Amino acid sequence: MKNNTFALAFTALLGASFTSGAACATDLGKLVHGPLATNDGQTLAFYQKDNNVTAWFTSPPQTEQETISDYALIVDSHYELGSVSIVAVFYQDLDKGGQDEVIVMYRDASGKPHLRAWGADADQMLPLTRLTPQLEDIAASLEKFTVAGARKALADLLPQQYLITRVIQDPSEPLFRDVLGAPHKYHPVFQRYFDELGDDVTNPQDAQGYSLIFPGKFIERTNEKAEKTKYTLTMDIIRQGSCGMDEAGFSPTGLHYENLTAGKKSVKEGPFVYYTLQGCQLTKNSEGQYHDNHYEGDWTWYSPEEGGRLVEKGTFRKGLREGSWQRFDEQGLRKEGKYLHDVEDGVWQTFAESGEVIALESYQKGYRNGPWWRKVAAKGSESGWVTEEQGQYLNDNKEGAWQERMTHEPRYAHYHNGLLDGELRVTKLNGQNCESGHYQKGLRHGESSEWHDNGELKKRANYLYGQLQGTSYNYRDSGKIAEVQNWKPGSAVNADLCQGLTNQDACDIRAAKLAQSLEEGEWRSFYEDGQLAAISERRNGKRYGTEYEFNHSGKLSFYARWDGKADPLENTRYDYSQLDDYAHKPVRMSLLADTRLLNDGRKEQSTFHSGSNKLSRHNFWCSASWTSAAVCGTEYLWYRSGVLSAVIQQHYNRRIESTDWDSTGFIDRQTVKTSEKTFSERFYILDKLYTDTVSPATTYHDGNEEVVAAGPSNISETRRYDKRGNLVTFEEQQKEYEGNKNSRVKLPVQ
């Protein structure tokens, strides 16, 4: 409640002053009444100095350890009352908001009685200046100037929020200004309580608001039958929610004239003004005229949430917008045009502060028809404007040539009935092409092209009513071709897919739901220099037939055969030096891997050592899937010299039997099944058995099959043998260990 209007009003009524902060004790003068504890955590005391009495509201001093309560006032204030004598101080809820106000009774030097009231906002006590005239009337009317008499008279006041002292935009009607400032002067009479829907209620606790009427203020209207109707000034007051420290008080939100003839439907007539409560301030919402319950004549609408910003104004005829109107956006830019029977009609223009027209919209009976363009502020300029979009509307739909997004991604389009139809070209700000395509009935149809940032062609493709069709070409930014692909529609072609739509965005959403186009026919890819890199076939979106990959020299580096499944029937890959290949040096090709799918659902794979055609591994995967990593059956491994390295019998990577040799051909280790219940893991040195670890056989369930293999090593037993192949007992091993330990060189003590 800190505003100039409040300060001026209070000074005029009381001649008071206001300060913040604690006052020095030596400045207060003589204590003449109090101190009294208020409900808001402050202390009220009256001091007299130089025959003037001052009311002091003070808060207790705060310490670092104390936390200020959410409902404790923190701003000290004082108000000069003049040469008066305090009669009494009491508390009463004047606005029915659930929070008591402070009432002070005193007499001036001539003995005349006075009443004053203070209420709290979030920080301090404030004088209820809107209530002062009514308090003066009550004080003068009391037969006995007592607390009991004052309480009774105050209880008869209707609940209002008297903290509200300012209206940002005053109403144009002088009477409305006076009534809002001091409604008691016009002797209001309570009319009714109403709920959220405006229906009558009898219990004030259930009321969302109430209405007052001013019987002495009315207007009269005469109809064609010479019948006169009286319309009485009415004030609507609604529950405020929260203003200051009250949570259930009421605040006035509107004034209008309304007929009160019994048995007739309530009808509004003449001027009106409505407000919205923003905090403890009333902000104008709308202002205008009624006729026969409809808007008539000049009308203005404001945005209460934005401090009462002017939003719209114009003229109504029989409840419909007619004639010239103005609208204002958040930046204050003005738009002007005309209404015909409540719909836009003719040319609407938007103006910059300089008066320059920055937008033009054409309407015909509410439909967009004719030229349409809009400018935006030029970058780096405070007053310059550049075109952002420009085109024509026909029957509320875009029609013909349009320029769109001109300040960040220029688009040159052609529309028919609101859908793209014809060429669409997208460029950079410098005019360089980014994308070009053709549309028919809102769907991509025909040739489409894209370009790299350096201006080289990036892609060229063909569409058939929204779906890729035929051959497409992808290019590198060097201009060399990268890929040649072939496509066919993934769903039934429908030229009328967007029939009935007049918005391109809606058509794009519908087209996006189509099944994706399918790969069909030959696919080729190329190296940077244009050399063929790969060639394959597609059918219904899947690889089918043979696939080839080549190195830069044109030699085959990969071969596969497909039948439309996820994995190839067979594939062979060759090894070569890619560094030499990219440098266009002669390369020596060698077989790297060969894989085939078998009829029993397994995958056979042969792998060769890099740089040679010698086998390094031959095995059978338990599944034909390329994601499977489990080996089944016999697996062979070779050294680069061609010497056999290992033969392993396994199932889903569980070893059942195996033999490993070193590079000279000596047996190195073995896994053998020694009985139905045991497995032996043997380690050799120069073909001589060195250790033999016996583990219990364990049955595993792998691949829906049972596999018997060696159990965990932590439950195994290991035997050791000497160079002659004789078993070395545990005692002999222990003795050998101790002897080795004692023979270790000991370091001298320092």
Residue 482 contacts residue 474 (beta carbons within 8 Å): yes
Angle between helices 132-141 and 147-155 (to 10 degrees): 130
pLDDT at 750 over 70: no
| CA distance to 173, 596, 612, per residue, from 619 (Å) | 99, 11, 19
Tens digit of each residue's pLDDT (9 = 90 or more) over 83-122: 999 999 999 988 777 788 999 999 999 999 999 999 887 7
Angle of CA points 96, 98, 102, to nearest 5°: 80
Secondary structure of 144-182 in the HEC alphabet?
CCCHHHHHHHHHCCCCCCCCCCCECCCCCCHHHHHHHHC
Determine contact, residues 296/316, Cβ cutoff 8 Å: yes
Q: 615-621 and 631-638: which strand pairing?
A: antiparallel
Q: Using DSSP bridges, classify how beta strands 433-440 and 419-420 pair: parallel, antiparallel or unpaired.
A: unpaired
Maximum Cα interatomic distance, the chain, rounded to a whole number of Å: 140
pLDDT band at 234 (very low <50, low <70, confident <90, very high): very high
Question: How far is the C-alpha of 81 from the C-alpha of 347, rounded, in Å?
Answer: 62
Using an 8 Å Cβ cutoff, are 406 and 389 in contact? Answer: yes
Output the pLDDT for position 165: 62
Q: Residue 224: what pLDDT?
A: 85
Long-range own/partner contacts, residues 397-405 (CB < 8 A, 24 or more apart): 397/368, 397/502, 398/504
Q: Pairing mode, if any, of strands 294-295 and 281-291? A: antiparallel
DSSP for 402-448 reads EEESTTTS-EEEEEETTEE-EEEEEE-TTS-EEEEEEEETTEEEEEE
pTM strictly above 0.85: no
The strand ranges marked E within 622-726 are 631-638, 644-651, 654-661, 667-673, 678-685, 688-702, 705-710, 717-721
133 pLDDT more than 90: no
The predicted structure's pLDDT at residue 542: 95
- Written as one string, the DSSP assignment of 102-140 is EEEEEEETT--EEEEEEEE-SSSEEE-GGGHHHHHHHHH
User: How many C-beta atoms surround the C-beta of residue 420 within 10 A?
Assistant: 25
Per-residue model confidence as pLDDT tens digits over 464-473: 999 999 999 9
Mean pLDDT for 59-70 is 64
Report the pLDDT value the prediction gives residue 72, as an integer from 0 to 100: 67
8 pLDDT band, cuts 50/70/90, is very low
Task: Name the amino acid, one letter, at 207.
Answer: A
Q: Give me the mean pLDDT over the 479-490 stretch.
A: 97
Strand segments (E) across 516-589: 518-519, 521-526, 532-539, 542-550, 556-563, 570-575
**Residue 176 confidence (pLDDT) above 90:** yes
- pLDDT at position 27: 76
Tokens 């920080």 appear where?
A: 123
Assign 489 a pLDDT band (cuts: 50, 70, 90).
Answer: very high
What is the C-alpha to C-alpha distance for residues 377 and 355, in angstroms, rounded to an integer?
Answer: 14
- Of 387, 339, 341, nearest to 363 (Cα)? 339
Task: Evaluate whether 201 touches 207 at the Cβ level (below 8 Å).
Answer: yes
Q: Which two tokens stand for residue 498?
A: 């967007």
Sheet containing 77-82: order of strands: 30-37, 43-49, 52-58, 77-82
- Residue (of 178, 171, 77, 163) closest to 128 by Cα position: 163
Q: What is the mean pLDDT of the chain?
A: 88
Instruction: Give the total residue count for the chain.
Output: 750
Q: Which of 64-78, 102-116, 610-624, 681-695 is the most confident on average?
A: 102-116
Cα 695 to Cα 194, 301, 657, 715: the distances in Å are: 91, 92, 13, 7
CB 99 within 8 A of CB 118: no
Q: Residues with Cβ < 8 Å from 2, sequence gap 6 or more? A: none
Please enumerate in sequence order all residues whose Cβ is within 8 A of that of 313, keeping only pairs 6 or more positions apart, or say none: 298, 299, 300, 301, 325, 326
Buried-state track 138-160, b at ≥16 Cβ within 10 A, e below 16: bbeebeebeeebbeebbeebebb
